[in-house]
């Protein structure tokens, strides 16, 4: 079933080329931080008691990554994405995934029309032609439909009958899935999962938050939100994110971290060797670097540090590890393994000589 809100149709904003080889100035970083703070503050007004989740969503947004939210119904997943579209002033489409949903229902299809007395096939765009696409309960659609998103998510374009149609910039797929009621669902294939930069588990809220919700929200209606970031400001944030410096040592750390997820590598810890079937792809390393940049910008830094990598590692690597059946038997899940990796992989390779102690 398709639905759309009252927002403007898909539009494309021009992307600026980031300034290469130059560190952001303190003023630039300060401005970026004020913009992101403004966004996060407004999001926090809409979604109560989920500060960490909101920050991860903002990081994913700045890194121009797709986001998969997993959580029980009623935790505000859909509301979060709708709020985001309102705050950014971007076009928004919501697609409710069902088993009978077809690829054409998402992408669009050519329809025979008579134009100027001549009949021709005219491509009618689907709901994917928007800046923000909410794929609600994505695991309920068939694999065929799910795979329709593959090209769109990676290449940011769709091809129908040999004709390629670019998607608007920026383009985000924000998907949700329900970890329960799995009967009649189709788990996302690994290739599809790999295209989501983040997979975030949406936690439940505290009793204080619940109390605040029922006292401040009539009928659960969210507050009225207005656009807080203009298109140019959003593009500016993207540029700032790209200009965040990734030092060699941190890049090396990311590389070693991703490499250690592979059970066949020398640097893999014992738990990875025992419980992981397939490790993270190079796309994971790219996502780690990109999201760490965004995290650094949100924290007002001109560069990425080891802390930023650790901050995003769980969300980036968690859904990219394919575990062996032994992991379930031993009570290990992917997030626990990522924590283990973060604990055993040192920030800097090598060690200082034993005769030296700081």
Interface residue list for another protein (CB under 8 A): 21-23, 25-26, 245, 247-250, 252, 296, 301-308, 347-350, 352-358
Residue 309 has which token pair?
């990598």
Residue among 26 and 187 whose Cβ is closer to another protein: 26
Residues with Cβ within 8 Å of 227's Cβ and at least 6 positions away in sequence, in order, are: 86, 87, 88, 89
CB of 246 to another protein, least distance (A): 9
CB of 22 to another protein, least distance (A): 7
CB of 64 to another protein, least distance (A): 22
Of the candidates 224, 282, 285, which has an alpha carbon nearest to the alpha carbon of residue 86? 224
CB of 56 to another protein, least distance (A): 19
The values of phi and psi at residue 218, to 5°, are -85, 130
CB of 132 to another protein, least distance (A): 32
Residue among 180 and 356 whose Cβ is closer to another protein: 356
314 CB-contact burial (10 Å; exposed 0-12 / middle 13-18 / buried 19+):
buried
Question: How many CA within 13 A on the CB side of residue 158?
Answer: 24
Residue among 266 and 355 whose Cβ is closer to another protein: 355
Strand bridging mode 2-4 / 163-166: unpaired
**91 near 9, Cβ under 8 Å?**
yes
First to last CA, the chain: 62
Residue among 34 and 159 whose Cβ is closer to another protein: 34
- Other residues' Cβ atoms within 10 Å of the Cβ of residue 54: 21
Residue among 69 and 304 whose Cβ is closer to another protein: 304
- E strands, 97-187, are 108-115, 118-125, 132-136, 157-160, 163-166, 172-177
Residue among 153 and 246 whose Cβ is closer to another protein: 246
CB of 62 to another protein, least distance (A): 18
CA angle 59, 314, 141 (to 5 degrees): 80
Residue among 162 and 353 whose Cβ is closer to another protein: 353
CB of 244 to another protein, least distance (A): 9
């Amino acid at each position: 079933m398709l639905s759309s809100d009252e927002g403007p149709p898909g539009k494309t904003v021009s992307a600026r080329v980031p300034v290469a080889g130059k560190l952001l100035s303190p003023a630039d970083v300060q401005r970026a931080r004020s913009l992101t703070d403004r966004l996060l503050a407004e999001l926090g007004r809409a979604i109560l008691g989920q500060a960490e989740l909101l920050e991860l969503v903002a990081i994913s947004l700045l890194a121009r990554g797709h986001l998969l939210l997993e959580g029980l119904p009623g935790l505000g997943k859909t509301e979060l994405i709708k709020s985001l579209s309102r705050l950014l002033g971007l076009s928004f489409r919501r697609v409710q995934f069902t088993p009978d949903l077809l690829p054409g229902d998402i992408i669009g299809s050519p329809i025979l029309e008579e134009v100027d007395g001549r009949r021709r096939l005219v491509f009618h765009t689907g709901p994917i032609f928007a800046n923000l696409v909410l794929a609600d309960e994505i695991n309920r659609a068939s694999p065929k439909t799910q795979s329709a998103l593959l090209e769109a998510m990676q290449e940011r374009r769709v091809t129908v009958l040999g004709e390629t149609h670019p998607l608007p910039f920026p383009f985000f797929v924000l998907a949700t899935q329900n970890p329960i009621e799995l009967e009649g669902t189709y788990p996302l294939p690994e290739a599809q999962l790999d295209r989501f930069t983040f997979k975030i588990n949406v936690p439940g809220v505290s009793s204080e938050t619940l109390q605040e919700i029922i006292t401040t929200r009539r009928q659960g209606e969210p507050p009225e939100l207005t656009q807080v970031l203009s298109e140019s400001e959003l593009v500016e944030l993207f540029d700032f994110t790209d200009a965040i410096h990734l030092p060699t040592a941190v890049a090396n750390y990311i590389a070693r971290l991703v490499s250690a997820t592979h059970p066949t590598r020398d640097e893999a810890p014992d738990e990875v060797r025992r419980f992981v079937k397939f490790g993270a792809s190079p796309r994971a390393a790219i996502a780690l670097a990109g999201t760490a940049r965004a995290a650094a910008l949100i924290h007002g830094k001109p560069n990425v540090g080891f802390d930023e990598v650790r901050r995003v590692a769980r969300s980036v690597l968690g859904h990219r590890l394919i575990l062996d059946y032994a992991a379930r038997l031993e009570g290990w899940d992917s997030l626990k393994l990522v924590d283990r990796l973060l604990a055993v992989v040192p920030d800097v390779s090598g060690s200082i000589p034993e005769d030296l102690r700081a």
